[in-house]
Structures are given as C-alpha cells and as structure tokens.
Structure 1
Amino acid sequence: MFKSLGLVFTFAVAVCLVGCGGNQGGSVTENAEQSDIEAYEAAIAAEEAAMNEDFEETK
C-alpha cells in the first residue's frame, strides 16, 4: 500500500517539476529560484521521512 502511494507521490512530484508544457516558455524548475527548489526538496524529504517512520511503527 505504502509503496504504491510512494510511486504516485513520486510521479506527481515529477509532473510538477517538469511541468505540463504549453506556451509558457519554461518549466517550473527553470523559473524558480535555487533556494525555493532546495526548500521544496527539504520539505519533500521531511515528509517522506515522516511517512517511513509511521510505516515502521505500524510493523
């Protein structure tokens, strides 16, 4: 169950980072500041760690 949620989450993050194309002239990562990207990645890592901790507690 958690593996499938992780895969869906990873896919959603990838779509958000790559963008959906269109005529906007760049992806989300090209338009974002490096500090914003690092803060986002840190938040994702913290959320994944919390999910893994919850998963370990339920074993």
Structure 2
Amino acid sequence: MSGRGCDPVEGRIGGRRPKLPTLAGEELIRSVREERYSMAKAARLFGVHPSAATWLMAQV
C-alpha cells in the first residue's frame, strides 16, 4: 500500500520530528527556570533557534 491513508495502519503518524530530544528539552527548560542561562543563551547551547526555545517554554 502507499499513500497517506495507510500510514496509521503501518504505525506512522504525520508531523515533524522534534528539534530536541525529550531529555534535552527538559534540560533546557530546567536551566532557564533555575536561571543558569538566559533563554537566548540556552537556545544557542542546545543548537536551536530562540523561537524554538520560547515555544518549548510555553508548552510547559
């Protein structure tokens, strides 16, 4: 089979992969909350765009 209709049958779900693995995202959130790093510096350290870090913080 091919096409999007068979994706759920084959175990695939649509959407993009996350920019950060779960543990790295949790560490970014923790470091900003504990004020070890600013949001911009944490984003640079983890290699993501500052807007991705802001989005991640907003999801919590």
Quick check: TM above 0.5? no
Taking CA–CA contacts closer than 8 Å with sequence separation of 6 or more, which of the two structures ends up with the larger relative contact order? Answer: 2
Structure whose residues are more often helix by fraction: 1
Q: TM-score, normalised by structure 2?
A: 0.32
Q: TM-score, normalised by structure 1?
A: 0.32
Q: Larger radius of gyration, structure 1 or 2? A: 2
